[in-house]
Chains A and B, each alone.
Chain A
Amino acid sequence: DAGVTQSPTHLIKTRGQQVTLRCSPKSGHDTVSWYQQALGQGPQFIFQYYEEEERQRGNFPDRFSGHQFPNYSSELNVNALLLGDSALYLCASSLARTGEETQYFGPGTRLLVL
Chain B
Amino acid sequence: QKEVEQNSGPLSVPEGAIASLNCTYSDRVSQSFFWYRQYSGKSPELIMSIYSNGDKEDGRFTAQLNKASQYVSLLIRDSQPSDSATYLCAVLPLQKLVFGTGTRLLVSP
Complex interface bits, A63-100 against B, C-beta within 8 A gives 1, otherwise 0: 00000000000000000000000001010100010000
A43-B96 contact in complex given A102-B34, A104-B46, A105-B43, C-beta closer than 8 Å: no
Which residues does chain A contribute within 8 Å of B88, judged by CB atoms? Answer: 42-43
A41 to chain B, nearest CB (A): 6
Which residues does chain A contribute within 8 Å of B42, judged by CB atoms? Answer: 107-108
The 5 A-B residue pairs whose C-beta atoms are closest, nearest first, are A42-B99, A45-B96, A108-B43, A105-B43, A42-B101
Let me know if B96 and A48 touch, CB within 8 A. yes
Q: Which DSSP category, helix, strand, loop or mixed, fits chain A's interface?
A: strand
Query: Which positions in A face B, CB cutoff 8 Å?
Result: 33, 35, 40-45, 48, 55-56, 58, 88, 90, 92, 96, 101-108
Q: Chain A CB within 10 Å — which of B49, B95, B101, B102 has the most?
A: B95
Interface status of B97 (Cβ within 8 A of chain A): yes
Let me know if B99 and A43 touch, CB within 8 A. yes
Which residues does chain B contribute within 8 Å of A101, judged by CB atoms? Answer: 32, 92, 95
Q: Which DSSP category, helix, strand, loop or mixed, fits chain B's interface?
A: strand
Interface status of B98 (Cβ within 8 A of chain A): yes
Let me know if A56 and B95 touch, CB within 8 A. yes
Query: Which positions in B face A, CB cutoff 8 Å?
Result: 4, 32, 34, 36, 42-46, 49, 88, 90, 92, 94-102
A3 to chain B, nearest CB (A): 10
Which residues does chain B contribute within 8 Å of A58, judged by CB atoms? Answer: 96
B62 to chain A, nearest CB (A): 18
Let me know if B97 and A56 touch, CB within 8 A. no
Let me know if B101 and A40 touch, CB within 8 A. yes
C-alpha gap A56/B94 in the complex (Å): 9
C-alpha gap A101/B93 in the complex (Å): 11
With A44-B99, A103-B97 already in contact, 5 other A-B pairs whose C-beta atoms are closer than 8 Å: A43-B88, A45-B98, A48-B96, A101-B92, A108-B43
Which residues does chain A contribute within 8 Å of B44, judged by CB atoms? Answer: 43, 90, 105
C-alpha gap A56/B44 in the complex (Å): 21
